[in-house]
Chains A and B, each alone.
Chain A
């Protein structure tokens, strides 16, 4: 019966092909959504997990609202404290805290390299005493990974911007000047005419968070003290405090209690790898859900195409249905013949769609990877074909085909054999 049904469906090859194209388009849409979103999630997750250990927590005064939306209940919101040296020492003493590395952000600076032309702006300069080869920085190149006074790391992006290779930029002098404006630029009276020079002792991968240069906390706080009108860096840190803390817990089991303590007692925002991954899952699931809805709409439209084709083929095969009934085909068998035909249309659409998706993604993958690398993401592959998903999609196409074939199949099975045999 299967051979017979295949014979019927391939009798009108062009029509079968055109009908299956509807399914093909739905498959292309759905597959690109599913594999594209999986790739996006993998890239972001990979980038984050390579930079942060599962036992690390980032603490900040400013909220990570994109991860933990602020509570609408005013009573639950505690005014965040400034992350001063005193607060940091209190946190350091908490049970389960292994280490704390404070970070300050130096905004409003543009970057120059002495002896080179060009101005890099806007820039993201951080002050930290983290070693150059710590997990937060990737791809460190340099003879020494700890910054002394007057020394800085710069990112690979900076080296590329000034057309200098990583090894050659080491030893050169990086100059920070107050930005002359523009995006994220700011002018303060105290900074006008001032510049800060550092010897470059290492190069780090700028990463997706775009760290352009790293200097020690002490020197970053001195720059910020000038900007803010403080007497010195120490006063800045004791009054204004740090921007972020990179906290490492002894184990993942300690994370929750530390996070809760910091949030409840200091009103500070925290997030760990787990929070980010949960957030990513939520976001990608949300986007995927919306996009899949559109994909399903196209699958629905495709199924209407199949219904139309199958109803047309009932008219063409009416006499054959009559003959088959006359020679002993049951109603279920007549239904089966039509369901096999519509299922085959779905299968063809699925295979064709998956083949196109496979070809397109294979061609596009290197370009996407290159683009991501330019944006600081460290990935070798974007689209990953999961065989179970591929098989699932193809089976889904067969199911859509069969579902679309149910109405025509019932219509065919209910044909009166006498009328069907007389049909001209």
Chain B
């Protein structure tokens, strides 16, 4: 079992007397290499779940285990650097860096990776996402689809075990969105990375092995696949 979520609860204090349960008593498992879609309306707890799984939010109740180890027991930097890769809806590329520099960014912070290794990995990923001819371009010179490809390559550079995609097609037209989804699914098949996609687009869920419906921070079991 790759990911085991047991009674995950996350509360937010909005004001002194107003505490909101973003995620409430959530439990489910994900197998290694699975493609999982998390679907739900706005405010259902999708992003909170991704923040917890991405190692960005460690202040929660319950248990979230990755490879039989509670996330909070991992060194947070090690976890974000080696276990998980995240793709954001707004791509979040660094505007001043070129395509290849953006892809290599995680390795800037990983002193164990040599420049040579970094360069080789960037080449490999540029080929996978089909951006060899855009390597020196800046993010503003790219289309939305190309920018998301860069973000995917950046998320994959450290060969993470889990790839989290937060609305990866949210800012793209349907054709480009489909291309990006196909790319993600192909990478999943090729590399065997566990892929968790957060979306509200029901058309994207057909290829998922597991669909998790969230509503008000809880599992909507009536719609579970």
Q: Check B97 for interface membership: any CB of A closer than 8 A.
A: yes
Q: Mark B73-90, 1 if CB is under 8 A from A, else 0.
A: 000010011100110100
Which among B96, B97, B154 is the interface contact of A327 at CB below 8 angstroms? B154
Q: Mark B150-170, 1 if CB is under 8 A from A, else 0.
A: 000011001000000000000
Instruction: Say yes or no: A327 contacts B51, CB within 8 Å.
Output: no
Instruction: Say yes or no: A418 contacts B56, CB within 8 Å.
Output: yes
Number of A-B contacts (CB under 8 A): 52
Instruction: Say yes or no: B109 contacts A7, CB within 8 Å.
Output: no
Q: Check B201 for interface membership: any CB of A closer than 8 A.
A: no
Q: Check B106 for interface membership: any CB of A closer than 8 A.
A: yes
Known contacts A1-B108, A329-B109; A7 and B96 CB within 8 A of each other: yes
- Residue of B at shortest CB range from A420? B56
Known contacts A330-B109, A418-B56; A11 and B96 CB within 8 A of each other: yes
- Residue of A at shortest CB range from B164? A326
Instruction: Say yes or no: A323 contacts B92, CB within 8 Å.
Output: yes
Q: Which residues of A contact B77 (CB under 8 A)?
A: 328-330
Q: Which residues of B contact A11 (CB under 8 A)?
A: 96
- Residue of B at shortest CB range from A422? B47
- Which residues of B (152-204) have their CB < 8 Å from a CB of A? 154-155, 158
Q: Mark A170-196, 1 if CB is under 8 A from B, else 0.
A: 000000000000000000000000000
Q: Which residues of B contact A333 (CB under 8 A)?
A: 109
Task: State the Cβ distance, B139 to closest chain A Cβ, in Å.
Answer: 12
- Which residues of B (87-124) have their CB < 8 Å from a CB of A? 88, 92, 94, 96-97, 105-106, 108-110
Which among B80, B94, B96, B97 is the interface contact of A326 at CB below 8 angstroms? B80
CA A325 to CA B76, docked complex, whole Å: 10
- Residue of B at shortest CB range from A333? B109
Q: Check A4 for interface membership: any CB of B closer than 8 A.
A: yes
CA A217 to CA B158, docked complex, whole Å: 95
Q: Which residues of A contact B145 (CB under 8 A)?
A: none
- Which residues of A (1-58) have their CB < 8 Å from a CB of B? 1, 4, 7-8, 11
Q: Which residues of A contact B97 (CB under 8 A)?
A: 4, 7
Which among A320, A326, A329 is the interface contact of B86 at CB below 8 angstroms? A326
**Could you say which interface size class chain B belongs to?**
20 to 34
Q: Which residues of A contact B85 (CB under 8 A)?
A: 327
Instruction: Say yes or no: B94 contacts A320, CB within 8 Å.
Output: yes
- Which residues of B (37-85) have their CB < 8 Å from a CB of A? 51, 54, 56-57, 77, 80-82, 85
Q: Which residues of B contact A139 (CB under 8 A)?
A: none
Q: Mark A303-333, 1 if CB is under 8 A from B, else 0.
A: 0000000000000000110111111111001
Q: Mark B14-53, 1 if CB is under 8 A from A, else 0.
A: 0000000000000000000000000000000000000100
Q: Which residues of B contact A323 (CB under 8 A)?
A: 92, 94, 105
Known contacts A7-B97, A8-B96, A330-B77; A324 and B109 CB within 8 A of each other: yes
Interface size on A, residues (CB 8 A): 20
Q: Which residues of B contact A330 (CB under 8 A)?
A: 77, 109
Instruction: Say yes or no: A418 contacts B57, CB within 8 Å.
Output: yes
Instruction: Say yes or no: B154 contacts A421, CB within 8 Å.
Output: no
Which among A4, A7, A327 is the interface contact of B80 at CB below 8 angstroms? A327
Q: Which residues of A contact B106 (CB under 8 A)?
A: 327-328
Known contacts A1-B108, A1-B109, A4-B108; A325 and B96 CB within 8 A of each other: no
Q: Check A96 for interface membership: any CB of B closer than 8 A.
A: no
Instruction: Say yes or no: B56 contacts A328, CB within 8 Å.
Output: no
CA A326 to CA B56, docked complex, whole Å: 7
Q: Check A417 for interface membership: any CB of B closer than 8 A.
A: yes
CA A7 to CA B95, docked complex, whole Å: 11
- Residue of A at shortest CB range from B85? A327
- Residue of B at shortest CB range from A332? B77
CA A320 to CA B101, docked complex, whole Å: 14
Instruction: Say yes or no: A328 contacts B94, CB within 8 Å.
Output: no
CA A330 to CA B111, docked complex, whole Å: 11
CA A325 to CA B155, docked complex, whole Å: 13
Q: Which residues of B contact A326 (CB under 8 A)?
A: 54, 56, 80, 86
Instruction: Say yes or no: A325 contacts B92, CB within 8 Å.
Output: no
CA A325 to CA B106, docked complex, whole Å: 9
Task: State the Cβ distance, B11 to closest chain A Cβ, in Å.
Answer: 14
Q: Which residues of A contact B80 (CB under 8 A)?
A: 325-328
Task: State the Cβ distance, A2 to closest chain B Cβ, in Å.
Answer: 10
Task: State the Cβ distance, A348 to closest chain B Cβ, in Å.
Answer: 18
- Which residues of A (332-347) have their CB < 8 Å from a CB of B? 333
Known contacts A11-B96, A319-B92, A320-B94; A327 and B105 CB within 8 A of each other: yes
CA A329 to CA B111, docked complex, whole Å: 11
Q: Which residues of B contact A324 (CB under 8 A)?
A: 105, 109
Task: State the Cβ distance, A417 to closest chain B Cβ, in Å.
Answer: 5
Q: Which residues of A contact B154 (CB under 8 A)?
A: 327
Which among A1, A4, A8, A325 is the interface contact of B56 at CB below 8 angstroms? A325
B interface residues, Cβ below 8 angstroms from A: 51, 54, 56-57, 77, 80-82, 85-86, 88, 92, 94, 96-97, 105-106, 108-110, 154-155, 158
Can you give 13 A-B contacts (C-beta < 8 A)?
A7-B96, A323-B105, A325-B80, A326-B54, A327-B85, A327-B86, A327-B155, A328-B81, A328-B109, A328-B158, A329-B77, A329-B109, A418-B51
Sorted nearest first, the 7 A-B pairs with minimum C-beta distance are A328-B81, A327-B106, A329-B109, A330-B77, A328-B80, A417-B56, A323-B92
10 further contact pairs, Cβ within 8 A, besides A11-B96, A327-B80: A4-B97, A323-B92, A324-B105, A326-B80, A327-B105, A328-B77, A328-B81, A330-B77, A417-B56, A421-B56
